[in-house]
Amino acid sequence: MSLVVDPLVERAEELERRGETMQAGAVARDALAKLDARGARESDVIGALRVLTTVAREPADFERFVSLAARDDLTLDEAARLTAARVREFGDVVLAPLSVPLRIRLAKRLERLGDATMAAKVRPA
C-alpha cells in the first residue's frame, strides 16, 4: 500500500530538505490553507504543519502540530522530539498552551526515547 501525499505538502517538504526555508514556509502555508478549506487528511495537515513549525517557527503552528501529531503513535515520537527542541530553544514558555493530558503523553514518550531530563520538564507539576 502506498501513501499518497498532497502535492503541495510534498513540495514544501522538498524545499525544506533543500534548505529553501522561505519558499518551503510559503508553500506549506498555502498547502495548509487549502487542506483546511477542503477538510483534507490529517496526515497531510500534520506534514504541512511540521514544515511550518520547522521553518517559520510560529507558536500557533507548533501547538497545532504537536496536538495533532501526538494523537497517533506513529507521529508521537516526532511531536515529542520537536517539543524537546522547542523547550531547549525557547524555554518552558512553549509548554504553557499545551494541555495537561498532552504534556503527560509527550513526557511519557520522551522517557521512552531516553530523554528523562526533558520528560521531567515537559511533565506538568
Which pLDDT tens digit goes with each residue over 54-73?
887 888 889 989 998 888 88
Check residue 43 and give its pLDDT.
Answer: 84
Burial of 114 (0-12, 13-18, 19+ CB in 10 A): exposed
- pLDDT, average across residues 82-92: 94
Check residue 3 and give its pLDDT.
Answer: 57
Check residue 4 and give its pLDDT.
Answer: 65
Confidence of residue 2 (pLDDT cuts 50, 70, 90): very low
* 59-69 vs 100-112: helix crossing angle, rounded to 10: 70
Looking at residue 99, its amino acid is S
Check residue 109 and give its pLDDT.
Answer: 96
- pLDDT, average across residues 83-106: 94
Poorest-pLDDT segment among 2-6, 42-46, 69-73, 97-101: 2-6
- Contact between 16 and 55 (Cβ < 8 Å): yes
For 77-83, the CB contacts below 8 A with 24+ separation are: 77/109, 77/113, 78/50, 79/106, 79/109, 80/106, 80/109, 80/110, 80/113, 81/113, 82/50, 82/53, 82/54, 83/110, 83/122
Poorest-pLDDT segment among 4-8, 51-55, 59-63, 110-114: 4-8
Q: Per-domain residue ranges for the chain?
A: 1-56, 59-125
Check residue 120 and give its pLDDT.
Answer: 97
The pLDDT mean for the chain works out to 89
Check residue 1 and give its pLDDT.
Answer: 36
Q: What is the dihedral of CA 41, 42, 43, 48, to 10 degrees?
A: 100
